[in-house]
Amino acid sequence: MPYELSFVKSIAQVERESYCNNCCVGGDLIAEALLPALTPRYGELDPIEEDWGWHIGFKYADVKLAVDIFCDDPDKGEFRVHLTSRVRGFFGSKVRDTPELEILKRMLIDAISAWEDYVPAVTKLDEKYFPITANVA
């Protein structure tokens, strides 16, 4: 099942008008800060802006992985990152727990902790992204 990492990160002043929505503000900066942790294992990745935030999608072995970045409050620098793994099912892909998701979670917890000198809040989510349990680092 997916995870949500929540944290506060001060970001440089940006022109909000250049983003699709407030939930996208600064997400590119967070994505760029996460890429050095991701590229050694997953190769070159290209974050893209969506109308709900920023998305980094990639495949490792037979697992589709996603890192989705949302800004909850641009003034305070409040962000959430959803981590999802999908595996091929009979009728398309299914959101599932995978060992690769656990590796991805640990990599990003370590990366975020290195910036802010604290561990982000970690919440386990169900397949519809509703909270199951909190602080499951």
CATH code, domain carrying 110: 3.30.310
Percent of the chain with pLDDT over 70: 97
> Are 83 and 105 spatial neighbours (Cβ–Cβ below 8 Å)?
yes
**Number of domain units in the chain:** 1
**pLDDT tens by residue, 54-100:** 999 999 989 999 999 999 999 899 999 999 999 987 777 888 889 99
Q: What is the pLDDT of residues 8-22, one digit of tens each?
A: 988 777 787 888 899
Domain of residue 109 covers: 3-134
**Rounded-to-integer distance, Cα 81 and Cα 103, Å:** 15
